[in-house]
Amino acid sequence: MKSEIDTVIQRTQRYWYVDGLGEMAVGLMLAIFGLYFSLFPLFENQNLGLAVALGQPVLLLLLWWLGGKAVRALKERITYPRTGYVLVARKKKPLSRLALAAITAMVVGALVGLIQAFAAGSRLIIPTVVGAFLAFSVAIIGRRFGLARFYVLAAYTFGIGLLTGILSLTETQQNTFLFAMFGLGWIISGAVTFARYLASTRPPNGDIP
């Protein structure tokens, strides 16, 4: 049974998600990543095509970095003046966040590689597996921080994976659709959360020490 102390700790730790800005940034990142796939057929030159394909992990890391900077800047302007500033506990190893980003990039890259390698024979299975993997990850975040909307997002993510497999799409269309739709879900979830946050909070009156 969760105690009142555990509830307060969990509520404090999920403060990062209170405004939906992080979700919108992740959604935008996934959508751009998905749209990047649609560039592939444009490069018939093999060398250029290879460069575009190899640029994917770099793009993902760049988007992650830019997204983090944008979210922090927006929080400084919108969230912290309204509901306060929280310095999230960081792990002691300074490389842990970068390592997390690199691992995520590698996992997504490997999943995409799997899609490309087996797409001809397993058009249904691979997107479903990718969807299930990402849905599981989202559900873990939901459970860790007690965020009910992340369970909805997990169900949506799994559904999109399944739908992508069912639709008769080419390999490029499949990849574009899958990640763009994942991104759209995150953006909508973040936008709804953001609108509700703005409607329910006001900057404080008077000076705050």
Partner 1 sequence: MTAGLHSISGVDRLIHEPARMMIVTILYAVEGADFLYLLRETGLTKGNLSAHLGKLEEAGYVKIEKIFRGKVPQTLLSLTPGGRAAFETYREQLKQIVQSLSKE
85 binds partner 1 (CB under 8 A): yes
3-state secondary structure of 46: helix
Closer residue to partner 1, CB minimum distance, 86 or 184: 86
Binding to partner 1 (CB under 8 A) within 112-131 occurs at: none
Nearest to 142 by CA among 24, 6, 1, 10: 10
86 binds partner 1 (CB under 8 A): yes
CB of 148 to partner 1, least distance (A): 20
Both tokens assigned to 111: 């999943």
3-state secondary structure of 204: coil
148 binds partner 1 (CB under 8 A): no
- Given candidates 41, 76, 99, 118, which one binds partner 1 under the rule CB under 8 A? 76
2 binds partner 1 (CB under 8 A): no
The Cα 139–Cα 153 span in angstroms is: 8
Closer residue to partner 1, CB minimum distance, 13 or 137: 13
The Cα 23–Cα 125 span in angstroms is: 27
55 binds partner 1 (CB under 8 A): no
Closer residue to partner 1, CB minimum distance, 50 or 196: 196
* Range in contact with partner 1 (rule: CB under 8 A) among 3-11, 31-39, 118-126, 142-150: 3-11
The Cα 190–Cα 17 span in angstroms is: 9
The Cα 108–Cα 56 span in angstroms is: 10
- Given candidates 8, 50, 98, 140, which one binds partner 1 under the rule CB under 8 A? 8
- Given candidates 40, 43, 80, 133, which one binds partner 1 under the rule CB under 8 A? 80
Both tokens assigned to 2: 């969760």
Q: Read out DSSP for 133-196?
A: HHHHHHHHHHHHHT-HHHHHHHHHHHHHHHHHHHS---HHHHHHHHHHHHHHHHHHHHHHHHHH
User: Which amino acid is residue 4, in one-letter code?
Assistant: E
* Range in contact with partner 1 (rule: CB under 8 A) among 36-44, 48-56, 76-84, 121-129: 76-84
96 binds partner 1 (CB under 8 A): no
The count of chain residues that interact with partner 1, using the rule CB under 8 A, is 22
Q: Give residues in contact with partner 1 (CB under 8 A).
A: 3, 5, 8-13, 15, 76, 80, 83-90, 204, 208-209
